[in-house]
Structure 1
Amino acid sequence: MRVIAVWAVSTLTMLVLAGILPDFQLQSDDGDSITRTAFTAAWGAGAFGLLSALVWPVLVRALLIVPALVLGALVFFLNGSLLWIALRLIPDGRGDANPETAVVVAAVMSAVASAASTALAVRDDDAHWRRLSRLADRRRRRSSTSDGRGGPPGIVFVQLDGVGHDVLRQAAADGLMPTVAGRIADEAGHRLTPWFTDWSSQTGASQLAILHGSNFDVPAFRWYEKETGTVMVSSRPASALEMQRRAIARTHDGGLLTVDGASRGNLFSGGATQLALVLSMAARLGKGRRSRAGYFAYFSDPANAVRTALSFTAEVGREIGQSTRARIRKEAPRVKRGGLYPFIRAFATVVERDVVVAAVIGDMFAGRTTVYADLVAYDEVAHHSGPHSRDAEKVLTRLDRSLGLISRAAEHAPRSYRIVLLSDHGQSPGETFAGKYGLTLKDLVRAGCGLPVPRRAQRTRSASEARDAVRIALHRPVDEQEAEHQAALSDPVVLASGNLGLLSFPDIEGRASREEIDRRHPALLGTLANHPGIGFLLVRSEEHGSVVLGRGGAEVPVPELTDGEGPLAGYGTGAAEAVRRTDSFPHVADVMVNSMYEPETGAVHAFEEQIGSHGGLGGEQSRPFLLWPRTLTDPVDALAAEGGSPVTAVVGAEAVHRVLAHWIRELSGPQVPLAEQSSTRGPVPRTEGAAPDGAAPDGAEVVPGADDPVPGARG
């Protein structure tokens, strides 16, 4: 009935256009009856439908080299081109249009047909499910997978990026996520428990450890490496590839998904052979080897393509409307949401979600053993709208519908599946550092060094106090000549990862000491430590070893740090050990800066333009979740079994890896080797026989990637 309805609407649209456009006709030169003309229009519309079914998959396969964002924008144009061909197939030459008019007709017909189809089915999960199940079933038959449900169960890990433990529980309690609520309420079948991140509470560090067993030497989402003069950024394919290579070299393990695994929508491959939207593999070459190949299975169905294209357009409009309403109401805190952001948001909340969900369903119908998928929609929206905003709540509801489709697929898959939901970090709310104090962290650092700062920052109280501190420390005014001398001496590199800042001096070899920094910039560390927007600093001292500095002259050696005391008061359990571990990294910054944290409100100040942030210590960002079937071993018991000693909580992303690996072995037998957890703290030596750049040990294939960030990829 839906097909007939769309056919009728397309026929009517073609008749209307023929009456409006002088260079478009559906009649012979001698004229035709109304019935004959209607028949001609119906013929053209039907030919268009058949061409879409037969030619569309070929076009999509040919366009696999096109980025996903561009491919989505081409959907209407490609449909229109097929319609132009359909006009040429009408008998007796009754369908005719000059090239310019044909383009217009094709575009309008494509849009109307797409709108009609989507209006009838866009919110019909049953219709969408039927399309996905037919697609998955075809893939299963091609892979010759048995239809029986015998053998050991498989396991599917679905990562809800950025969803904190408390946010998930509240969304379930408020009825925003009925699928999740059902699992939480079924205490006999499932259990929800938090885990605690490392200091670097962001996807790059967390997911690298979860999938590859180690996030050693990943101090933040982005960091500066002095020996090469490069900035590593987790959302760049080349950086993600190098991070993955280093983790494999350290653990000597290909990853969590090396045995019949699939990686969908992740930053890293996990050793899987089946890939879709995997950042570290974004530049893979060769037939069927691109991570982008995962698009084909989804977009080969015109109905799926149209559904996603229209949803993409609607999401762009939704974001523009929501950001406009926030400006009119003068909501606070608020950040700019213009430029390309509406399109990046639409990619994350629509294209990535639809492709990943379809791929996971296909994996389950193909009977794959282990699947790990990341849905990034909430994280993207929460950064700009806030983790507790109405915008973010609506995204959670749509994600819950996707989880419902995956759960439904498990009931029809050729083997039974255990579905585990988890997150890589949470998000902490709060006004940005720049919004609160009128200057960025980089401006404050430059002011503390006596370097020139922008005019907007010069007028702020923080910059004035910093320059006063410089004058007092130097016992003389800081004039332009002195500023030029300081700039020539060392122009610091200042990077931000949520509410975690990293300060490095490129001209100081190795990790700069506190004494060296004080000799060059005597007011800098005091300015930073005593700023109300900053919680604490980590810096290495020649005399006392690494120390944590806080307000009022507080100074605690790193070995003596205690949770809940001194500069770490309020930052929660595990903060001291997280700081100690990061201090051991070869690429820890000269000065690590963590923003303030208000335990009463849960607020932090991001050093980026984000009112929902993560990356450092403080609040909900450090408390992600695990929602797991009780048929699996309790995570704490799994860790105790792997480590041989009792534990009370899951602390650190590497511990999550050990839990997930234990579950995989528990279901499938001892197939997946546990990543070796090296107790050494130091750089990985590139010894003879080690994997060269572009390769990985143990058969885990990696290839060079590109430097361009992927749209929508967030930490």
Structure 2
Amino acid sequence: MSDGRWRTAGGTLVRVVSVWAVSTLTMLALAGILPDFRLQSDDGDTVTRTAFTAAWGAGAFGLLSALVWPVLVRALLIVPALVLGALVFFLNGSLLLIALRLIPDGRGDANPETAVVVAAVMSAVASAVSTALAVRDDDAYRRRLSRLADRRRRRGGTPGTPDGGRGGPPGIVFLQLDGVGHDVLAEAAAGGIMPTVASLLDDEAGHRLTPWTTDWSSQTGASQLGILHGSNHDVPAFRWFEKETGTLMVSSRPASALELQRRAIARTRDGGLLTVDGASRGNLFSGGADQLALVLSMAARRGKGRRSRAGYFAYFSDPANAVRTALSFVAEVVREIGQSTRARLRKETPRVKRGGLYPFIRAFATVVERDVVVAAVIGDMFAGRTAVYADLVAYDEVAHHSGPHSRDAEKVLTRLDRSLGLILKIAEHTPRDYRVVLLSDHGQSPGETFAGRYGLTLKDLVRAGCGLPVPRRAQRTRSASEARDAVRIALHRPVDGEQEAEHPDKPSDPVVLASGNLGLLSFPDIEGRATREQLDRRHPALLSTLAAHPGIGFLLVRSQKHGSVVLGRDGAEVPVAELRDGQGPIAVFGAGAADAVRRTDTFPHVADVMVNSMYDPESGHVHAFEEQIGSHGGLGGRQSRPFLLWPRTLADPLDAVAADAPGGEAGAGLVGAEEVHRVLARWLRELSGPQVPLLQEGLAGAALVDESVPEAASVREGATTVTRPVLDEPVPDGRVLDRPVPEEAVPDPGDAVPGARG
């Protein structure tokens, strides 16, 4: 054996003995503290005998944790990550009880509750000691990680350098901070809340920060679909109703996410940003990646190696990780309950209800999802994967309920900054050089909810405008009475508060949906997209009531006479073709608003009436039609201004867009998620070479296209059959994709990931 191998073996032996010794001392200390934990016989033992018993128990527990725990976790991949986290304490405590039973002469004993505590403390201590010893020598640590990555590459057939060194083209990590706007990130860096981001910006050779503008639908479903798959065509909101199939599409449902991914691939003829040696972590969509963890569109896939839940096996296979995350989960639940209680006692405004399951949903988003995704990204970097895209949803979830500028949200930003710092530090030890790109999918705009400000929901207002019954609480509000007065005047007769306006066709109730401060009205019994003339005949006061309401900024509706029109207060009406930024009903919504409305108007599934809430440019406030005091989904304020933080060694985003634009000229800035996709794809080509194909045969996430279904039609949730077409049409850069598409199962619509969001 060479000197290097002797040193490696000696180092490993030292670490094992050290961890064993510390675990033994920990067990002895816990036996002295906890009354229900015993390491002696009933007659008592000498100090030496007790120490031997503790060493035996610690060794048995360590072996069981190393050998049995990974098997248990792999067997439990059938359960969601949230449930697995809840089982961590029980499983770890059970292993300790087994270890105590293995001690000779029955000297070890503990009741189940105490065993859970002892196991958690010992796992945490052993993990801390092992990690401290492993990283004491940077060179040794790097060599160990390089060997690990090389073994993974050989096992997976991924090419790498023969010596495991940092050779070959660099990889790239796209880290999405969900919901963090450009201005929020800049302020957090300048204010010391995110020191890691500040260090990237302060370094002249480091990173540059630039904003980009979302589409009208400023939410994760539209933005991430466009970023990962190159198209978010026909995604008018986070949720919408499709008349021809009677389907309610919701971006946070697995079946809907899978269908959106299928449609995007069918439109672009491109499997996605991550089809070549990519990994997708914590996202709504796969991006064509083969390596998946907590990916919503693939949440219910079946088959060996093809379940997104397999991605968190590597994390939870370490009992110390599992215990640490479970403890942090409980702490986060307690923290949220304390923060919401304090907000109620202080009578803070605006404020929304934060009870029920929300504390657990928040804990999943801010702890479990963060820990699993960060660990998966680090594993991908060790394995030398080419492209990794990961979404950290913690800030978005907290800002919805606490506010985008609240202390709660700032603390989450600090924790996300630490995660970024860890990834950057790990990148120094990986076998491949990496470029780290930070970006967001949208921002958030603050403001009191529509219901909180006016005493009725958008649905209440719509029903009042249609002459339909509304709840008694809404009838007492000024807004509702104004609406009912408008109905009475329009119909030239009184309208009973409990009686529906008569109509010879007896139309069905409208479907009213909310996506942040964007509302969507659909009339199921009107075939196709309803026109203004049809709505005026059925509900004469509806459109005028909505347009005149102080909480509403503008409406989009189709007219038989003038084409689509935008309606605003004081009878304002502007044809969509004549919309101009800074003028008419959209005057306060900023640059790009006119083009965003025009683009959405072309979607096959645009709602009969699109409703955007008011926006106050001085305060930056909007009124969400949902229970959110930090919202996004429509136009107005910071929600439409996310960011891109990129290394200066990569091409300028505007230059990258200009290279693909007609005439090679850059616009005023990055506009729309599809342009961001082109920038990221350009960077990948820069790093990997121009000849890298965008698709590889057999990769997960390729097109799931059913040729029997028209492109604009919806596949109903719960369908289970998908055909295997051949993609043989040219793609924009001239290549032809002629590989068969792998078959996938459409997931059960009820199999949603906790904490799914917009």
For this structure pair, what is the TM-score category when the shorter chain's length is used for normalisation?
Answer: over 0.9
1:479 CA displacement? 2.5
Residue 660 of structure 1 pairs with residue 660 of structure 2: no
Residue 693 of structure 1 pairs with residue 736 of structure 2: no
The answer to whether the 8 Å contact 1:665/1:672 transfers is no
2:602 corresponds in structure 1 to 584
Residue 351 of structure 1 pairs with residue 368 of structure 2: yes
Residue 104 of structure 1 pairs with residue 124 of structure 2: no
Aligned amino acid, residue 236 of structure 2? P
1:188 CA displacement? 3.7
2:81 corresponds in structure 1 to 68
After superposition, where does 1:198-237 map in structure 2 within 5 Å? 198-237=215-254
Deviations 1:388-424 (A, max 9, x none): 1111111111111111111112222222111111111
Residue 647 of structure 1 pairs with residue 674 of structure 2: no
Structure 2's unaligned 5+ residue stretches are: 1-17, 155-159, 696-701, 704-709, 715-719, 728-738
Matches of 1:32 and 1:267, distance apart in 2: 58
Aligned partner (choices 606, 630, 634) of residue 616 of structure 1 = 634
2:103 corresponds in structure 1 to 90
1:143 corresponds in structure 2 to 153
1:11 CA displacement? 2.8
The answer to whether the 8 Å contact 1:114/1:310 transfers is no
Deviations 1:170-199 (A, max 9, x none): 000001111111111224432111110000
1:707 corresponds in structure 2 to 749
SS of 1:412's equivalent? coil
Residue 323 of structure 1 pairs with residue 356 of structure 2: no
The answer to whether the 8 Å contact 2:181/2:442 transfers is yes
Relative distance call for 1:582 and 1:72 in structure 2 (3 A) is same
SS of 1:337's equivalent? coil
2:583 corresponds in structure 1 to 565
Matches of 1:225 and 1:192, distance apart in 2: 38
2:377 corresponds in structure 1 to 360
SS of 1:64's equivalent? helix
The answer to whether the 8 Å contact 1:131/1:304 transfers is no
Matches of 2:187 and 2:24, distance apart in 1: 45
1:613 CA displacement? 0.4
1:612 CA displacement? 0.5
Matches of 1:221 and 1:120, distance apart in 2: 46
SS of 2:167's equivalent? coil
Relative distance call for 1:481 and 1:436 in structure 2 (3 A) is closer
The two structures, once aligned, show a CA RMSD in angstroms of 2.8
The answer to whether the 8 Å contact 1:264/1:359 transfers is yes
Matches of 1:190 and 1:400, distance apart in 2: 15
Aligned amino acid, residue 138 of structure 1? L
Matches of 2:398 and 2:117, distance apart in 1: 32
Matches of 1:549 and 1:125, distance apart in 2: 65
After superposition, where does 1:120-139 map in structure 2 within 5 Å? 138=148
Deviates more, 1:170-179 or 1:298-307: 298-307
Matches of 1:577 and 1:653, distance apart in 2: 14
Aligned amino acid, residue 425 of structure 1? H
1:555 corresponds in structure 2 to 573
1:181 corresponds in structure 2 to 198
The answer to whether the 8 Å contact 1:135/1:362 transfers is no
Matches of 2:79 and 2:145, distance apart in 1: 22
Relative distance call for 1:294 and 1:136 in structure 2 (3 A) is farther
1:433 corresponds in structure 2 to 450
Structure 1's unaligned 5+ residue stretches are: 677-682
Aligned amino acid, residue 55 of structure 1? V
Matches of 2:215 and 2:203, distance apart in 1: 30
Aligned amino acid, residue 707 of structure 1? P
The answer to whether the 8 Å contact 1:530/1:551 transfers is yes
Aligned amino acid, residue 84 of structure 1? L
1:633 corresponds in structure 2 to 651
The answer to whether the 8 Å contact 2:24/2:54 transfers is no
Matches of 1:3 and 1:570, distance apart in 2: 66
Residue 517 of structure 1 pairs with residue 535 of structure 2: yes
The answer to whether the 8 Å contact 2:450/2:458 transfers is yes
Matches of 1:710 and 1:132, distance apart in 2: 35
Aligned amino acid, residue 87 of structure 1? L
The answer to whether the 8 Å contact 1:276/1:359 transfers is yes
Deviations 1:359-381 (A, max 9, x none): 11111111111111111111111
Matches of 1:62 and 1:380, distance apart in 2: 30
Deviations 1:518-565 (A, max 9, x none): 111111111100000000000001111100000000000000000010
Deviations 1:113-144 (A, max 9, x none): 357668999999979x9999978963542323
Aligned partner (choices 315, 329, 337) of residue 298 of structure 1 = 315
1:149 CA displacement? 1.8
Aligned amino acid, residue 340 of structure 2? S
The answer to whether the 8 Å contact 1:136/1:362 transfers is no
Matches of 2:26 and 2:506, distance apart in 1: 70
2:9 corresponds in structure 1 to none
2:350 corresponds in structure 1 to 333
Matches of 1:95 and 1:239, distance apart in 2: 53
Deviations 1:481-521 (A, max 9, x none): 85174694220100000000000001111111111111111
Aligned amino acid, residue 183 of structure 2? D
Aligned partner (choices 69, 87, 91) of residue 56 of structure 1 = 69
Matches of 1:64 and 1:81, distance apart in 2: 19
Relative distance call for 1:672 and 1:578 in structure 2 (3 A) is farther
1:39 CA displacement? 3.7
| TM-score normalised to structure 1 length | 0.92
Relative distance call for 1:66 and 1:122 in structure 2 (3 A) is farther
Matches of 1:474 and 1:32, distance apart in 2: 94
Matches of 2:184 and 2:132, distance apart in 1: 25
The answer to whether the 8 Å contact 1:271/1:700 transfers is no
1:109 CA displacement? 2.2
Relative distance call for 1:89 and 1:140 in structure 2 (3 A) is same
Matches of 2:141 and 2:456, distance apart in 1: 51
SS of 1:143's equivalent? helix
Matches of 1:9 and 1:272, distance apart in 2: 43
1:298 CA displacement? 0.9
Matches of 2:226 and 2:185, distance apart in 1: 22
Aligned amino acid, residue 668 of structure 1? S
Matches of 2:134 and 2:345, distance apart in 1: 35
2:428 corresponds in structure 1 to 411
2:699 corresponds in structure 1 to none
Aligned amino acid, residue 143 of structure 1? R
Matches of 1:240 and 1:123, distance apart in 2: 42
Matches of 2:508 and 2:131, distance apart in 1: 57
The answer to whether the 8 Å contact 1:502/1:592 transfers is yes
1:42 CA displacement? 4.4
Relative distance call for 1:541 and 1:169 in structure 2 (3 A) is same
Matches of 1:350 and 1:107, distance apart in 2: 21
SS of 2:634's equivalent? coil
1:341 CA displacement? 0.9
Relative distance call for 1:595 and 1:118 in structure 2 (3 A) is farther
SS of 1:63's equivalent? helix
The answer to whether the 8 Å contact 1:694/1:704 transfers is no
SS of 1:192's equivalent? strand
SS of 1:713's equivalent? coil
SS of 1:84's equivalent? helix
Residue 171 of structure 1 pairs with residue 188 of structure 2: yes
